[in-house]
Amino acid sequence: MKVWSEVLSVLLILTLGCTIALAQSTASISGSVKDTSGAVLPGVEVTVTQTETGLKRSAVTNETGSYTLTNLPIGPYRFEASLPGFRTYAQTGIVLQVNDNPLINAVLEVGQVTETVEVQANAALVETRSTTITQVIDNQRVLELPLNGRQVTELVLLSGVANVGGVNANNSGIRNYPTTTISVAGGAGNGLVYLLDGASHNDPYNNMGLPMPFPDALQEFKVESSAGPAQYGQHASGVMNAVTKSGTNEIHGDVFEFLRNGRLNARNAYALQRDDLRRNQFGGTVGGPIVKNKLFFFAGHQTTTNVQTPVADRQFVPTAAMLAGDFTAFASAECNNGRPLTLRAPFVNNKVDPRSFSPAGDME
């Protein structure tokens, strides 16, 4: 029992740590509640409901009539404030985006609590308490805007404060995956913080961004620049904060296929024949409820196949002599423009003693 108790304690600590880390991919709501005379109302029960999942969060206003609700998943919400002796105040049309913190104030009128004052708020919520310049690329634009290769990172350029980096702008030459280096607000190409669902998404090798999920699996992302909050740190240029999709109370899904084929392309005016590129990107997503209003699932997959004639290039492979440790031919004058090379000591005569080889380095 003692061992199980220790294991459960560790799991609890890890769970709490993950909850704190994921706070950056959620949103919050704060504000105050007053009556029609402008007097603050303590003890008001404030409830917000995520209309797609049924999630409810509640708080009670303090002695100054203020309240705060944190760690809210992004999406559409309904806001209610109720207090005995007053009509219930209800507001719909509230859409929270990643890392939002809107101010929603309520005014309660005297009446029965069973009476409700409905307010429809379709206008965009304006952030008035932060000096950070932000731009949210919502789900509609993520899905519908054309993307060469479906690399979501390229949509950061829509923020208006970003441009493609200079040297090694395409990270595939450095690592074995395709990403685009983005410079935000005049910063360096590796000066952007990438977050995915609240966790760091920077490559520890070069501080560039790791590949993002394909568009159908991404809900939205926000680009922040100019004096970002201290909660991010690490990089001074800006922040790309992305959130993946989640399931709802309804089952939703899609399948897709994107085709590039030389047979469908016109021949280049300077080419003798059409290109022979055959590229297919296909996959799908599905999400829905496991336990309604409580537990949900979402899954997605994308496969890319690319077939084309290899680009003419030269590659060097080790000879049998080199695999045996003999580099005399490789270091000779004939292979080095008339200038022989000498390997570093203790390799006498440009030969490596095979007895010093490690079995882990066997290339055969």
Query: CB-based contacts of 49: which residues, under 8 Å, 6+ apart?
Result: 55, 56, 77, 78, 80
At residue 18, the pLDDT reads 45
Cα(324)–Cα(328) distance, integer angstroms = 11
**What per-residue confidence (pLDDT) applies to 146?**
86
Instruction: For residue 14, count CB atoms less than 10 angstroms from its CB and return exposed for 0-12, middle for 13-18, buried for 19 or more.
Output: exposed
Query: Starting at the edge strand that comes first in sequence, how are the strands of the sheet with 295-307 ordered?
Result: 252-261, 278-291, 295-307
**pLDDT attached to residue 89:** 93
Domain residue spans of the chain: 2-120, 133-244, 252-307, 320-361
pLDDT digits (tens, 9 = 90+) for 104-156: 999 999 887 677 777 776 555 666 666 677 888 888 889 888 887 888 888 88
Fold of 133-244: Ferric Hydroxamate Uptake Protein; Chain A, domain 1 (2.170.130)
- In terms of phi and psi (left: phi > 0; alpha: psi -120 to 50; beta: otherwise), the region of 261 is beta
Nearest to 183 by CA among 146, 140, 225: 225
What integer pLDDT is reported at residue 46 of this predicted model? 95
> SS3 of 280, please?
strand
For residue 101, what pLDDT is reported? 87
- CATH 3.40.228.10 assigned to domain 2-120? The reply is no
Instruction: Label the pairing between strands 192-196 and 199-200.
Output: antiparallel
> Tell me, what's the pLDDT at 12?
56
**What pLDDT is attached to residue 10?**
53
pLDDT at 311: 62
Residue 168: the pLDDT is 47
Domains 2-120 and 133-244 share a fold: no
Read off the amino acid at residue 98.
Answer: V
pTM: 0.67
Q: By the 8 A CB rule, do 119 and 180 touch?
A: no
Given a cut of 70, the residues of the chain with pLDDT beneath it are 1-24, 113, 121-131, 165-178, 226-230, 233, 310-314, 345-346, 361-364
